[in-house]
A and B are shown apart, each in its own frame.
Chain A
Amino acid sequence: MDWEPVIGLEIHVQLATKSKIFSGASTRYGAEANTQACDVDVGLPGVLPVLNEEAVRMAIKLGLAIDATIARRSVFARKNYFYPDLPKGYQISQYELPIVSRGYVEIQADGEEPKIIGVTRAHLEEDAGKSVHEGFASMSGIDLNRAGTPLLEIVSEPDMRSAKEAIAYMKTIHTLVRYLEISDANMQEGSFRCDANVSVRPKGATAFGTRAELKNLNSFRFVERAINYELQRQIDMLEAGERILQETRLYDANKNETRSMRGKEEANDYRYFPDPDLLPLELDERYIESVRAELPELPRQKKLRFMADYDLSAYDAGVLSSSRELADFYEATVRASGSDPKLCANWVMGDLLGALNKEGKSITESPVSPTMVGALMARIADNTISGKIAKEVFEAMWRSEGDADAIIAAKGLKQVTDTRAIERFIDEVLEENAEQLAQYRSGKEKLFGHFVGQILKKSRGKANPQQVNTLLRKKLKGPSS
């Protein structure tokens, strides 16, 4: 039987506010245990939460960016359960009335057509603390620094049909939240986390199969592996005539397998009810529009603009708009070059990204600035140097030997455009290749390229190839010398 995977993702994004969602404690990562847990975060008797406006604005930004409905009235609810990293015995979240609902994003998995993925909802909630298992003998240590960090939980529709699509969706959201500057989305530090709901059904069926919720997927690679493992596990079970249990499963990256968390999650009954310490959040049109006015150009808009304004292919525009920093670098390069945006695109995507990759650097750590790359592009465009020489100049810039003009001057790389000088190279080459010249004249015309190569070599790459072409052709057409 042919099976169709059905996948939905729940992505938890830590919002990049300075202070916590319900208290004035810092959200800075990596502080000493419990030094950023104030009375509200520790859940002392008598304390009360007060909502952080910036978290609200950030949630609205995400909502607007995915064309979702922003709730004019949303409500915070308590999710009740006991766990040591949950100091109050409940998590403040949103349940029946989330701030964002019914949006969508467009994804494009490698080598596939673009596809729309629905976003069911995105709601605000507080993060829990952390349990530390090492260093306390038979005990666990509780660190509440993370408790109260604002989270936006983004829940997708079960619209994905492969692990590849799931990754593409996740990357789209990852890019988006970074564009919006609402999260640093650092997966190592846990500010971008993902759970996946995975099921399979016979191809063509409309009803969903029983799903498993996969947890602990903290890298793109793990998400793909865990989903693929789980899909296969479910298919194997179904084909063996077994039933799938609706359960939570933990992904073990070391063993590359998922395993049941039954017993840990038994019979949860979260007893959600509206948090009486917080009043309903009401947002009016004016407020929402004030947030909309702060929105940056979004990845998709940018991609379309790059295609239209710079005449880039969809692929190139997609790569260059994949992060706000890269897109900004590219556009600054175009501006500095004052020339061909396509040439700039080729260089930024080719030589620059290649060099960065080799050294494991990000675009923001590039030793060459957009101004420098732009100036180099200008020298190609005005025929000062050839593309080939430009590579040499680029490498020198990378080694911090100066800007393009300085390197060209210092190394004498300026292209030869003087007609008489080029004619001298032509004459010398034809003289040295009398035999080939004779063959050419008798019809072996492909020797033309051979002569061009020899002439460029003689000029040590500095002769302008187009000029060489023109002058050589003229020479060969004229009376034999």
Chain B
Amino acid sequence: MSLQKKDVEKIAWLARLALSEQEVSDYARDLSDIFELVKQMNTVDTEGVLPLAHPLEITARLRRDEVVETNERDRFQSIAPLVKNGHYLVPKVIE
């Protein structure tokens, strides 16, 4: 298992992480090492084994359809980096 710099750049873009040149090569090495370790999983045959997504095999509980929340905009937006007229601001979204 060996990841190239271009693999790392692709993953970093999917994850929206700006990385320096140095970080790209460091992560290429680290990720290669880690996936080498991960590869040990292939030493066991898991044919037909049901994946376990959740430690306790219990099922969903549902909530009643009730409005229980009130307007908290001011409190939530007091910790926001940039707001105007009740909106969170981002650089122009082009559609």
Contact = CB atoms under 8 A, between A and B. Distances in A.
A and B touch in the complex (CB under 8 A): yes
Contact of A17 (B61, B65, B72): B65
Interface string A10-40: 0000000111000111100000111111110
B88 A34 contact: yes
Contacts of B76: 34, 37, 39, 42, 44
Nearest to A150: B65
Contacts of A207: none
Label chain A's interface by main secondary structure.
Answer: loop
A135 B87 CA distance: 11
A52 B69 contact: no
A144 B71 CA distance: 12
A132 interface: yes
A84 interface: yes
Interface residues of A, number: 51
Interface in B31-60: 53-54, 58-60
Contacts of A69: none
B68 A24 contact: yes
A18 B69 CA distance: 12
Given A24-B63, A84-B93, A279 B85 contact: no
Contact of A136 (B62, B65, B84): B84
Nearest to A55: B65
Given A53-B62, A282-B60, A34 B69 contact: no
Given A53-B62, A143-B87, A276-B53, A36 B71 contact: yes
A54 B63 CA distance: 8
A355 interface: no
Most buried by A among B71, B82, B84: B71
B95 interface: yes
Interface of B is mostly: loop
A279 B68 CA distance: 22
A19 B53 contact: no
Interface string B67-86: 11101110011000010111
Interface residues on B, range: 20 to 34
Interface of B: 14, 16, 53-54, 58-69, 71-73, 76-77, 82, 84-95
A51 B62 contact: yes
Contacts, number: 125
Contacts of A73: 59
Given A34-B87, A280-B59, A19 B73 contact: no
B73 A138 contact: no
A346 to B, nearest CB: 42
B63 A133 contact: no
Q: Counting chain A CB atoms within 10 Å of each CB, which of B16, B61, B82 scores highest? A: B61
A280 B60 contact: yes
Interface centre among A26, A53, A140 (most CB of B within 10 A): A140
Nearest to B79: A44
A178 B2 CA distance: 55
- Interface core residue of B68, B71, B73, B88 (most chain A CB under 10 Å): B88
Contacts of A42: 76
Contacts of A56: 62
Contact of A139 (B54, B58, B69, B89): B89
A140 B93 contact: yes
Given A18-B67, A25-B69, A276-B53, A32 B91 contact: no
A131 B93 CA distance: 7
B54 A53 contact: no
Contacts of A52: 62-63, 65
29 contacts: A19-B68, A23-B69, A24-B67, A32-B86, A33-B87, A34-B88, A35-B73, A36-B69, A37-B73, A37-B76, A38-B69, A50-B63, A51-B63, A52-B62, A52-B65, A53-B63, A53-B64, A84-B93, A131-B90, A131-B93, A132-B87, A139-B84, A141-B84, A142-B88, A143-B86, A143-B87, A264-B94, A271-B14, A279-B54
Contacts of B92: 133, 138-140
A282 B59 contact: yes
A274 interface: yes
B62 A24 contact: no
Given A52-B62, A52-B65, A136 B87 contact: yes
